[in-house]
């Protein structure tokens, strides 16, 4: 949004275009203020005096002694003239230069803040990697423990029913059920997201929206791991992952 004095209303679209070329994300508000008289109309004194003299002469011929009100002049066009085209171009050029200087200062500040934000988020990414590493280190143990408990449960059920079953069939069913608690695919996708995040963090183009999308995908994988696993250590790691991702999502809203 650009707010400018009435005399500079035609500069608003020009400034908005400059904004869109440099600011790719977020909302911006520009306020243009001026000092002293800017633009406006100027009385053409020579034309005004000539018109009034002609009116007085006409009055003397047609109605001597009658007054000639000044309001009569309002009926005549071109008594007031605007600023010249050269003056207008100079004014718009001055506005453009001032605005460009403001954009350059904003870019310098954003670059400095952006570097600090990226350092913070890359540091938090290392925390995510450590937690994912902890989960990966327990993955096989968790799956095997689930198989063992499920196998024992099936055996107890069969013993209670005094029934026999095909051991191979039982092992197949146990393996299929245990596979549903395996988080290998989620861990693989998380590592892929981590690699993409690091590559985008070093990219010179605007990447804020893509980073936000990657964090959403990371959060989704973390939720799936938490739903699949009943291990206390993994559950704690998932809580830490989700907390760090939420902090990173807050930060990434300030990245273009």
Is the residue at 207 inside a domain?
Answer: no
181 neighbors 229 (Cβ within 8 angstroms): yes
Domain ranges, residue 98? 2-102
2 neighbors 32 (Cβ within 8 angstroms): yes
Query: What's the CA gap between 148 and 171, in Å, rounded?
Result: 10
Query: What's the CA gap between 201 and 121, in Å, rounded?
Result: 9
Query: What's the CA gap between 98 and 160, in Å, rounded?
Result: 86
Q: What is the pTM of this model?
A: 0.57
pLDDT at residue 66, as a whole number: 85
Residue 28 sits at φ, ψ, to 5 deg, of -130, 150
43, containing H or E segment: strand 42-43
Residue 3, classed as helix, strand or coil, is strand
pLDDT at residue 190, as a whole number: 94
pLDDT at residue 93, as a whole number: 75
253, containing H or E segment: none
Is the residue at 139 inside a domain?
Answer: no
Query: What's the CA gap between 224 and 142, in Å, rounded?
Result: 15
Is the residue at 123 inside a domain?
Answer: no
Angle at 181 between CA 175 and CA 185, to 5 degrees: 105
Is the residue at 183 inside a domain?
Answer: no
If we measure between CA atoms, which residue out of 204, 206, 217 comes closest to residue 248? 217
Q: How many CA atoms lie within 13 A of 211 on its CB side?
A: 29
If we measure between CA atoms, which residue out of 149, 147, 217 comes closest to residue 181? 147
Is the residue at 250 inside a domain?
Answer: no
Is the residue at 154 inside a domain?
Answer: no
- Parallel/antiparallel/unpaired status of strands 42-43 and 80-81: antiparallel
Is the residue at 60 inside a domain?
Answer: yes
- How many domains does the structure of the chain reveal? 1
Query: What's the CA gap between 245 and 217, in Å, rounded?
Result: 10
Is the residue at 181 inside a domain?
Answer: no
pLDDT at residue 194, as a whole number: 93
If we measure between CA atoms, which residue out of 8, 14, 244 comes closest to residue 127? 244
Residue 97, CA distances (Å) to 64, 83, 126, 147 in order:
58, 20, 43, 71
pLDDT at residue 160, as a whole number: 59
Query: What's the CA gap between 190 and 208, in Å, rounded?
Result: 19
Average pLDDT along the chain, 256 residues, taken 10 residues at a time: 65 70 68 60 74 86 84 73 60 76 80 82 91 88 74 68 60 65 87 92 81 93 86 89 92 80
If we measure between CA atoms, which residue out of 250, 173, 172, 188 comes closest to residue 225? 188
């Amino acid at each position: 949004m650009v707010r400018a004095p009435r005399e500079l209303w035609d500069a608003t679209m020009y400034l908005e275009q400059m904004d869109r070329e440099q600011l790719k994300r977020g909302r911006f508000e520009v306020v243009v203020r001026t000092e002293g008289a800017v633009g406006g109309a100027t009385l053409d004194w020579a034309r005004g005096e000539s018109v009034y003299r002609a009116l007085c002469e006409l009055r003397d011929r047609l109605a001597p002694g009658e007054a000639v009100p000044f309001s009569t002049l309002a009926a005549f066009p071109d008594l007031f003239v605007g600023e010249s085209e050269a003056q207008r171009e100079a004014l718009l050029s001055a506005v453009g230069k001032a605005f460009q200087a403001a954009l350059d200062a904003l870019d310098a500040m954003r670059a400095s803040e952006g570097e600090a934000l990226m350092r913070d988020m890359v540091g938090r990414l290392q925390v995510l990697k450590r937690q994912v590493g902890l989960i990966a280190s327990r993955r096989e143990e968790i799956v095997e423990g689930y198989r063992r408990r499920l196998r024992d449960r099936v055996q107890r059920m069969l013993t209670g029913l005094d029934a026999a079953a095909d051991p191979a069939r039982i092992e197949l069913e146990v393996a299929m059920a245990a596979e549903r608690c395996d988080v290998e695919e989620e861990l693989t996708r998380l590592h892929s997201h981590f690699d993409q995040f690091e590559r985008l963090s070093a990219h010179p183009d605007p990447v804020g929206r893509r980073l936000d999308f990657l964090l959403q995908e990371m959060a989704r994988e973390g939720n799936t791991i938490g739903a699949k696993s009943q291990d206390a250590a993994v559950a704690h790691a998932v809580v830490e992952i989700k907390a760090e991702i939420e902090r990173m999502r807050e930060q990434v809203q300030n990245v273009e």
